[in-house]
Chains A and B, each alone.
Chain A
Amino acid sequence: MTESKKSRRGYLKAVGGAIVAVAVAVGAYELYRSTTGPTTPTPTPSPTLSPTPTPTTTPTPTKPFEGVTVTFSTLDPVTTVANSLKADFTNQTGITVNIINVGIEELNEKNLLELTGHKGAIDVLTNFVWMIGQNSAFYEPLEPFVKKYNVDLSDFAEWVLDQSCRYDDEHKFTRRGGGGVLYTLPTGADCTQLLYRKDWFNDPNEKAAFKAKYGYDLEVPKPPDAFTWKQFCDIIEFFTRPDKGIYGYGYAANPYTFWELWHPEAFSRGEYYTTEEGKPNLNSIGQLEAFNLALYYHRQKWVPKGAENMGYPEASEWFKGGKVAVAQLWNMMYSEYTKPDFIDKVGYAFMPYWGKPIGKERPLPPGVTSWEVPGSKPRMSSGGWNLGINKDSKNKDAAFLWIQFATSYEFGKESARKMSYFGARYSIYQDSELRKTNPWVDAALESWKGDYLWICWMRTAAFPQAVDPVTRYMHQALIGEKTPKEALDESQKAMVEIWKKYNYPT
């Protein structure tokens, strides 16, 4: 009896040991396999098609890709428009489109999950403007397709093509994009603007009270003119009336959007994430002053209660609900304000700049040495969604045809009409009908001329890795756990550490 027990125990031990050994072996093999996969991040245009169209004497079929399915992952509002128009696309080309909707906060993660899996399950992916550095290694360069299908790019806003679509290693630190390889086509030309309650600003009682208190007229400058930051402070102070539940500035200050929303303060004095050569620039004197100005709005309580945990959706709700006088929002959020009951109440302007103050003198915020900075001009954040083809896609031509459709004039017009999401084509922005129902377009077009728009996040793959600790350090300064200088110094340190790992200049 004991004999068989012993041998059984031994047998089980052997089996158990074998299972563990197999598990470790397979794991090691998997790791080996996945790490010896494609490792080179440098892009090389892959010659999958000959750039010159092959002349044929036989009539080519009008729907060469009939029956092919293209999988497209994207977000709202593009999803809604794509869903409504995909039948047209199928009629035109015979290609079926399978549309997958992703949430905003997980787009990056989902894209990378797909791209690093190399299964080619998704053919066309939607990206934010800053993802191009990180994703370019996984995308098929589009220039050959553009040539093959004779696509005319001249209608696309040039700055959008530079920022969202073109990339190469020399242009990884640039503020306005550019680059030698075309990786994507743009579906959006988004930028931020300053929204204000036109009805409040035009109210004669308000105007009189403002003039009495600050010594100049409450007038909103027409773009490309803008308020100075000093005037901005006057205005948001004026409209802060907590007893009525109204505040001046709808500043969504949760850890992530807090940083994004003080970009105008920094950009308008020429401060970007890095210097021109690419050295991290988070704690320069200019950045510190801009930061102190942004913190000042919160210290003075000119922002709604609870702003520290609010994001863009809440900011939009504040503005819609009449709780704030001004807000900084992205173009794609304006569809709510183009509704008939609201359209006359909203005005659109440039974000302020460090210009000469007018009116009654205003004490400087702590940490700000002057209201005026020579050479300052208004600058806002820009971004633009764009579409790229997965390098592992099995239907690249069909995928490109979908991209062409999704960035076409027809698609853009429908998108503009339905969702106020205008795409990236000049012709749509200049359509007089659409401009009547979307008064923000005038200010947007003004911002496209000249150097008013800088990319909201850096495009190099190293940058997203810095974001998490850095935004929180800044948030700590907001809630008083760190001084502004400490926060920026630590942020700089974090960014320098990451830069060093990538061998970037420090």
Chain B
Amino acid sequence: MREKIKSELLPYLLNAPTITMLLFVAIFPLLYCSYFSFFEYRLITQSANFIGFDNYITAFQDPIFLSSLRVTTLFIVVALPLELGLGFILALVLNQKTTGASIVRVVFMIPMMVAPLVAGYLWRFMYWPDVGIVDRVLNSFGIQTPEWVANPQTALPSLIVVDIWQWTPFMFLILLAGLQALSRDPYEAALIDGASRLQVFRHITLPLMRTIVAVAMLFRLTDLIKLFDQPLIVTNGGPGFSTYTVSLYIYRVGLSEQFRVGYAASLSWILNIITMVVALMFIRSIFVSKE
């Protein structure tokens, strides 16, 4: 009898450390955060007044917050498909190859390993007009270049390029692993049936890769929502507000100059909710599709 109880409690015991850590370091601060999102809490004067939902109401009327949501969404909508597409192309190409494939794989891993911070500084100086390496290379081919991160229209695209540089390899590696794990049977059957290569891709490869693609997109998407390092280092949210992402704005409101911790907490919660909704949609589709 004791044996049975012990063995039935075991999974919970094994999970206890994990759950405890997460409760105290993640859930507890989140609850605390939601608690003082109902206050006007200024860190400098250390005064806190209860103001109910005022912070949330202010947030939805805050033009800067809304603009930062727009900037973040724009970033995701452009970067994610591009990374997926480019990663897929590279994965398909390398799926056929055996020579030198492992060297290529290692090389492609490099941008992922570079700390986003270092990548940020690196690209910031690469984008320096006329003098930075981007301009030097392009100008030597006679291409006229804009001011990259100093021009409000090209600032966001320039940041997207940085993200693509850093994370397309991530997509590529996942998709490649997925492709190589596919069994050959459906392909052989299709070839016997005389299907063209494009048809094979559309009707066999893509559906079989659905789960992997969804998982990859999920991780990348939630990372992009949190985007902080690059906009801070490369453009500092500028020019104007054109690369001011949500995380950056929350950081400035809460911990830098303004120290309006209550308002920052409410903004964080709005961001949390948006992230969870999007993530759960993806998770459901992954788990559901497996049945």
Contacts and interface: CB of A to CB of B under 8 A. Distances in A.
Nearest to A115: B44
A61 interface: no
Contact of B239 (A31, A34, A461, A479): A479
Given A41-B45, A472-B238, A476-B240, A30 B257 contact: no
A468 interface: yes
Contacts of B5: 4
Contacts of B239: 255, 308-309, 475-476, 478-479
Contacts of A116: 43-44, 46
B148 A27 contact: no
Interface in A375-405: none
Interface in B1-58: 5, 8, 12, 23-24, 27-28, 31-32, 35-36, 39, 41, 43-48
Interface residues of A, number: 48
Nearest to B47: A39
Contact of A309 (B47, B149, B258): B149
A19 B16 CA distance: 12
B150 A309 contact: yes
A254 interface: yes
Interface string B231-274: 00001111111001000000010011111100000000000000
Contact of A254 (B129, B236, B257): B236
Contact of A108 (B151, B155, B241, B256): B256
B257 A468 contact: yes
Contacts of A245: 130
Given A31-B32, A307-B150, A479 B44 contact: no
A480 B35 CA distance: 41
A306 B258 CA distance: 28
B187 interface: no
A305 B241 contact: no
Interface in B120-139: 127-130
B147 interface: yes
Interface in B135-181: 147-152, 155
Nearest to A481: B240
Contacts of B256: 108-109, 468
Interface residue tally of chain B, by bracket? 35 or more
| Interface SS majority for chain B | mixed
A479 B148 contact: no
Contact of B45 (A26, A39, A306): A39
Contact of B35 (A19, A28, A41, A479): A28
A465 B44 CA distance: 11
A57 B121 CA distance: 63
A38 B151 CA distance: 46
Given A27-B32, A255-B238, A35 B47 contact: yes
Contacts, number: 120
Contacts of A17: none
Interface in A263-319: 304-310, 314
A204 interface: no
B64 interface: yes
Interface string A345-373: 00000000000000000000000000000
A305 B238 contact: no
A464 B238 contact: no
B272 to A, nearest CB: 16
Interface in A433-478: 461, 464-465, 467-469, 472, 475-476, 478
A112 interface: yes
Contact of B240 (A27, A35, A255): A255
A389 to B, nearest CB: 19
Nearest to A469: B64
Given A305-B147, A468-B258, A476 B46 contact: no
Contact of B46 (A39, A304, A307): A39
A128 interface: no
A108 B32 contact: no
Contacts of A4: 5
Contacts of B128: 306, 314
Interface in A228-287: 245, 254-256
Contact of A464 (B31, B155, B240, B257): B257
Contacts of A8: 8
B236 A255 contact: yes
Given A24-B31, A468-B252, A480-B152, 7 more contacts: A23-B27, A27-B28, A35-B47, A39-B46, A109-B256, A314-B128, A478-B239
Interface of B: 5, 8, 12, 23-24, 27-28, 31-32, 35-36, 39, 41, 43-48, 64, 127-130, 147-152, 155, 235-241, 244, 252, 255-260
18 contacts: A4-B5, A23-B24, A27-B35, A31-B35, A34-B46, A39-B46, A39-B47, A108-B257, A116-B46, A255-B237, A255-B240, A306-B129, A306-B150, A309-B236, A468-B257, A469-B64, A476-B239, A479-B152
Listed from nearest, the 9 A-B pairs whose CB atoms lie closest are: A306-B129, A308-B150, A476-B240, A305-B129, A309-B150, A27-B32, A306-B150, A35-B48, A255-B238
